[in-house]
Amino acid sequence: MLLWEETLFKDRDLFELDHLPEHFLHRESQMNSLKFCVRPALQGARPVNTLCLGPPGTGKTTAIFKLFEEIEAHSSKVIPVHINCQMDSTRYAVFYQLYKKIFDHAPPSSGISFKRIFEKVALACADSDLVLVVALDDINYLFHEKEVDHVLYSLLRAHETCPGARMGVIGILSEPTLNYVLDPRVVSVFQAEEVAFPLYTRTELGDILGRRVQMGFYPGVVDDGVLEKVAALTESSGDLRVGIDLLKRSGLSAEKRASKTISVQDVETSFERSRLVHLTYALKSLKEDEQKVLRLAAEQESCRAGDLFSRFHEQTGAGYTRFHEILNKLDAVRLINTDFSGAGERGRSRVVRLRYDPDEILSRMGP
């Protein structure tokens, strides 16, 4: 029996989703590619622009944080900046964050224009001989209203208006099905090197989760059978974050029973909650009209895209192009499946099916 003041956790932080692991396993080739792309910056030149592609939970953001950690340890002339485009989805917001990083304080609050912030950032880079490496995480949030073209154009052509300003971009994209066509003026300067982050294999998941178990729990808490079960359920969800959350919840479940070990039953009952980590995370990333389409789909469970569009158009007045983009996005973030059936008026009709129980979706979206 576990005494009331005892715990199974040696280090709880290892099971938090924002924990940066000391040992970043099974991403050596991706890290080497990223280091190769930023190497010119360490030599005072502009870095090679890069695009990190892969499903959610495959280590893209962690790779950037590990890379930036190394850059900051080795150079004071290269300034790495991570931008979360879900939060900062305009050109002004991106440069606001760059300003804060370079000057260590926010720009004046009294309506400073974008042009002024841009000039300050570019001049600081040129005058102090700095190279900016800007990671645009979830870059697809800049696709709306072509904001991505403005952001990339400003960053990558800064040297034209301010000679000596050197900036490079690392884009992070979890939705490769969203084929955004960049402005030709941006294409000529972006020309990104692609770094692929595939889903982890079962063996790799076992290694990564096993390392967390070894460092996060006391010896003997998790046996091989339990770890194998966690790895299998993580593989079925396609997202490493589910496995990390599952270890935490299973540990808490065992503690609640005052047990000194985690059982397979702890894992199975905790999975109901952990598998929804992705749902909660994905819902947070949706814009208002995207939530509207998902809500309409959840109220129908399974329906034809044409019917769904009619109801969406009725409520919002939005056109089919935007609706089509939203369906692709919801499919890419694994909230729906869209399949073609042969039963449409023209022989093919797109059927929309939810990947989660509609009640689970609706209860998390609120009224």
Rounded to a whole number of angstroms, the CA Rg of the chain reads 23
Only one residue has tokens 């509207």, namely 292
The distance between the two most distant Cα atoms of the chain, rounded to a whole number of Å, is 70
Same CATH topology for 28-196 and 287-365? Answer: no
What's the pLDDT tens digit per position in 226-254? 999 999 999 988 889 999 999 999 999 99
Q: How far apart are CA 190 and CA 334, in angstroms?
A: 28
pTM of the model: 0.82
Query: What is the model's pLDDT at position 347?
Result: 47
Distances in Å between the Cα of 51 and the Cα atoms of 64, 148, 205 are: 11, 13, 24
Q: How does 66-81 read in b/e, with b if 16+ C-beta sit within 10 Å?
A: bbbebbeeebeebbbb
Q: Name the token pair of 156.
A: 């990558």
Higher pLDDT, 55 or 79: 79
Residues in CB range of 140: below 8 A, 6 or more apart: 85, 173, 174, 175, 178, 180, 329
Q: How far apart are CA 322 and CA 330, in angstroms?
A: 12
Q: Please state the domain extents for the chain.
A: 28-196, 200-275, 287-365
What's the pLDDT tens digit per position in 63-122? 999 999 999 999 999 999 999 988 898 999 999 999 999 999 999 877 789 999 999 999
Instruction: Please name every residue paired with 337 in a beta bridge, in sequence order, or none if there are none.
Output: 353
Among 122, 136, 135, which Cα is nearest to 166's?
122
For domain 200-275, give the CATH number: 1.10.8.60
For 28-196, the fitting CATH number among 3.40.1360.10, 2.60.40.10, 3.40.50.300, 1.10.3720.10 is: 3.40.50.300
For domain 287-365, give the CATH number: 1.10.10.10
